[in-house]
């Protein structure tokens, strides 16, 4: 049996969360935990570890994870 060692960077997780917000699947005010509904279970465990290592709590808002938005046309 081969076990895949998948490692997700915090930047990849932020990009995924940003994409889900842009698509309207989640909103910035929802807790980070809501991301697990849109991410396959087999990948969530790896992402969960990376989030914890980076100091994010599952109750933190997604907005804290993805940071501020940049607007091109103010």
pLDDT of residue 5: 52
Q: What are the tens digits of pLDDT across the range 7-59?
A: 679 999 999 999 999 999 999 999 999 998 888 888 888 888 999 999 999 99
pTM for the whole structure: 0.78
Rounded to the nearest 5°, which phi and psi values hold at 61? -70, 150
CB 62 within 8 A of CB 35: yes
pLDDT above 90 for 4:
no
Rounded to the nearest 5°, which phi and psi values hold at 21? -70, -45
pLDDT of residue 38: 86
CB 46 within 8 A of CB 8: yes
For residue 2, name the pLDDT band (cuts at 50, 70, 90): very low
């Amino acid at each position: 049996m081969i076990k895949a060692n998948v490692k997700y960077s915090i930047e990849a997780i932020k990009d995924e969360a940003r994409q889900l917000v842009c698509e309207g699947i989640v909103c910035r005010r929802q807790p980070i935990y809501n991301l697990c509904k849109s991410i396959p279970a087999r990948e969530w465990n790896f992402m969960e570890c990376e989030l914890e290592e980076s100091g994010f709590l599952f109750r933190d808002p997604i907005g804290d994870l993805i940071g501020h938005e940049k607007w091109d046309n103010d």
